[in-house]
Amino acid sequence: MKTGKSIMLQGTASSVGKSLLTAALCRIFHQEGYKVVPFKSQNMALNSFITEEGLEMGRAQVFQAEAAGIKPSASMNPILLKPTGDKHAQVIIKGKVFKNMTAVEYHDFKPELKSMVAEVYQELVTSNDIVVIEGAGSPAEINLRDKDIVNMGMAEIADCPVILIGDIDRGGVFASLYGTIMLLTEEERKRVKGIFINKFRGDTKILEPGLKMLEDLTGVPVLGVIPYGDLNIEDEDSVTERFKKDINKEGKVTIEVVQLPHISNFTDFHVFEILPDVNLRYVTRGETIGNPDIVIIPGSKNTIADLKYLRESGLEKEILRVHKEGSHIIGVCGGYQILGEKIVDPLGVESSLKEIKGLGLLEVETTFEGEKVTTQIEGEIIFEDNEILKECKDTAIKGYEIHMGRTKLEEGVKPLLQITQKLGQEVAYSDGAVSKDGRVFGTYIHGIFDEISFTQKMINNILNKKGLTSELKEEKSFQDFKEKEYDKLAKLVKESIDLEKIYKIMEV
């Protein structure tokens, strides 16, 4: 029945590079003239995106779609799990919230999803030349194998070959590859047609004896040793090196993002990494806020729990201190709600706690409702009466909203944005709020900073206040930057793998 071909990338563990290498293959096949699409049956991530149809999906499949030269679609990620705690997650099916489930409940529910996954996959493979499928975690989780729909279970649904990825940078790559293959059933091992060794540093000649021994032991050929690359492509989720270092340490404007325990959509701040004027730092657990120009409270999958974390960790006092000392404070989505006077949860959407006091830096109040807002928007900045937003008025903005809360502004509080389009339809409503002292603002719009024309004006205002000038030579589109990074990724990987053997494995 299927007309296209497919290849699946699985890994020995999480964070071995499956998402990035899936994007690389998507870009390579796209460059070679094939109609290609990424697919991940089940993704667990707090970084999500809203499509043109108002459907929610994981951001990994978004950047993979961009690499493939196509628009993101929820069919590329039919199941999205968004953890709300250690044992609970919000289950999103085909872009819409299904319900919250415990880990045990979801595991028992997975067999019911198998036919849906097969149907969505079949639609993709019949309308594309190649489907590049990404697995999740490791296929050797033997306790989960009986109900698997994302690793070897997905390979069976697609009846496709598998390439297994090992991360040599973390050490033990030969043991992890061999051990993974040996824990598979005989039928599953037959599907593994090749191995990628990822994130290699050094001379491959030293590695060659080990590669030969691995091939002899497993009977599986090594199809590529991919070097550690200097790439700036967004991460799938919060297991990221970004949280462990200052980025652009020489930047003249310091932005500190508070790493909340349930941080979501930290991809909102990726754009700051490409601006030479900005030193970006994430404030992780146990650290204190320095003396930044801007503090950002990001989105959260559990706003009430993260507000309590700020209070109990002492970070609330830190935020109030730096605000008093002159820092600008920005909140995005859950961070916007946290900045308000209070959050009310009458339906118990997030917590048994019906009401909690916010940081009190914005004169707004948020109430959680039962229905999630998921929409793409276009709009423009309508506020400019403070030093950070000077000359930003009328600047165009694009982005998306994902939230359960509805935020009401107190009398006299001015909104930040006017929304003019929602899911392609003309609308007229406001978003966000700016504090009466002009040094705090919040918004529900994810991706607001991706509009470099807005972001650079904001940064320039701080530079001007300091008597400094921008190091940015010319204002570039963030999308143009990403396209160049996808090309760099494709070049790096294409030069490191046996592409002809991969085509042969797929029978293309």
Give the pLDDT confidence of 94-136 residue by residue, as tens digits: 999 999 999 999 999 999 999 999 999 999 999 999 999 999 9
The residue written with tokens 């001007």 in the block is 464
| CA-closest candidate to residue 165, choices 212, 199, 189 | 199
3-state secondary structure of 118: helix
Which strand (E) or helix (H) includes residue 79?
A: strand 79-83
Pairing of strands 364-381, 417-422: antiparallel
| CA-closest candidate to residue 444, choices 454, 459, 429 | 429
Contacts of 195 (CB under 8 A, 6+ apart): 163, 164, 165, 166, 177, 214, 218, 220, 221, 222, 223
Instruction: Judge contact between 130 and 508, C-beta under 8 A.
Output: yes
The CA-atom distances, in angstroms, between 148 and each of 122, 124, 358 are 18, 20, 42
**Residue 256, pLDDT above cutoff 60:** yes
Q: How far apart are CA 48 and CA 34, in angstroms?
A: 27
Q: What are phi and psi of 277, to 5 degrees?
A: -80, -15
Summarised one tens digit per residue, pLDDT across range 385-413 is: 788 898 899 999 999 999 999 999 999 89
pLDDT at 242: 64
Q: How far apart are CA 412 and CA 400, in angstroms?
A: 26
pLDDT at 239: 52
Which runs of consecutive H residues, i.e. helices, occur in 135-288? 152-158, 173-183, 186-191, 204-218
The residue written with tokens 């946290």 in the block is 338
Instruction: Judge contact between 363 and 341, C-beta under 8 A.
Output: yes
Summarised one tens digit per residue, pLDDT across range 227-253 is: 998 888 887 655 556 666 677 778 899
- Paired with 425 in beta bridges are 422
Summarised one tens digit per residue, pLDDT across range 305-333 is: 999 999 999 999 999 999 999 999 999 99
Residue 412: count other Cβ atoms within 10 Å of its Cβ.
Answer: 7
How high is the mean pLDDT of the chain? 93
The mean pLDDT of 352-375, rounded to a whole number, is 95
| CA-closest candidate to residue 445, choices 421, 463, 425, 411 | 421
Contacts of 127 (CB under 8 A, 6+ apart): 4
Q: How far apart are CA 141 and CA 2, in angstroms?
A: 29
Q: How far apart are CA 266 and CA 257, in angstroms?
A: 9
* Eight-class DSSP state of 436: T
Query: Cα 316 vs. chain centroid, distance in angstroms?
Result: 26
Summarised one tens digit per residue, pLDDT across range 33-71 is: 999 999 999 999 999 999 999 999 999 999 999 999 999
- Paired with 81 in beta bridges are 44, 91
Summarised one tens digit per residue, pLDDT across range 421-470 is: 999 999 999 999 999 888 999 999 999 999 999 999 999 999 999 999 98
The pTM of this model reads: 0.92
pLDDT at 379: 96
- Of the CA atoms within 13 Å of residue 42, those in its CB half-sphere come to 25
Q: How far apart are CA 254 and CA 268, in angstroms?
A: 16
Tell me whether residue 362 is exposed, middle or buried, using C-beta atoms within 10 angstroms of its C-beta: 0 to 12, 13 to 18, 19 or more: buried
| CA-closest candidate to residue 402, choices 76, 62, 163 | 62
Q: How far apart are CA 11 and CA 348, in angstroms?
A: 38
Contacts of 275 (CB under 8 A, 6+ apart): 248, 251, 452, 455, 456, 459, 472
Q: How confident is the model at residue 184 (pLDDT cuts 50, 70, 90)?
A: very high
**Residue 185, pLDDT above cutoff 60:** yes
Q: How confident is the model at residue 86 (pLDDT cuts 50, 70, 90)?
A: confident
pLDDT at 386: 80
pLDDT at 236: 64
Instruction: Judge contact between 293 and 255, C-beta under 8 A.
Output: yes
pLDDT at 2: 57
- Of the CA atoms within 13 Å of residue 360, those in its CB half-sphere come to 8
The residues that are catalytic are 333, 446
Domains of the chain: 5-41+58-73+112-233+483-506 (3.40.50.300), 252-470 (3.40.50.880)
Which runs of consecutive H residues, i.e. helices, occur in 256-362? 303-313, 315-324, 334-338
Q: How far apart are CA 124 and CA 35, in angstroms?
A: 11
